[in-house]
A = this chain, B = another copy of it.
Amino acid sequence: MNDSKALDAAISEVSNFHIFSDLDLKSVSALCESGKIIVSQHKEILYRQGDPADSFGIVLSGAYKLSKPTLNGEDTIVHFSAPGDVIGAFIMSQHNPVFPVSSYSMGPSRFLKIPRHVYLERWKNWPEVLFKIQNLLSSRIATLQAQKTLIKAPLPVKIAHFLIDTLNKYEGNSATSLSIPITRKEIADHFGASVESVIRVMSQWSKKGLIETHSQQIKVLKMDKILKEMENF
Residues of chain A at the chain B interface (Cβ within 8 Å): 68-72, 74, 76, 78-79, 90-91, 93, 100-101, 124-127, 130-131, 133-135, 137-138, 140-142, 144-145, 148-153, 157, 191-192, 233
Contacts and interface: CB of A to CB of B under 8 A. Distances in A.
Contact of A131 (B72, B101, B124, B140): B124
Given A78-B145, A148-B68, A152-B74, A93 B134 contact: yes
B149 A71 contact: yes
15 contacts: A68-B145, A76-B151, A90-B134, A90-B138, A91-B138, A100-B142, A124-B131, A126-B127, A130-B134, A137-B137, A137-B141, A141-B144, A144-B145, A148-B192, A151-B191
Contact of A90 (B141, B144, B157): B141
B93 A153 contact: no
A28 to B, nearest CB: 19
Report how many copies the assembly holds. 2
A199 to B, nearest CB: 17
A157 B71 CA distance: 11
Contacts of A79: 145
B145 A100 contact: yes
A130 B70 CA distance: 32
A30 to B, nearest CB: 16
A124 B131 CA distance: 7
B144 A144 contact: yes
A19 to B, nearest CB: 14
Given A130-B127, A130-B131, A68 B137 contact: no
B233 A72 contact: yes
Looking at A142, A148, A149, the one whose CB has the most chain B CB atoms below 10 A away is A148
A72 B76 CA distance: 26
Contacts of A192: 148, 151-152
Contacts of A100: 142, 145
Nearest to A130: B130
A150 B72 CA distance: 10
B134 A70 contact: no
A9 to B, nearest CB: 29
A138 B137 contact: yes
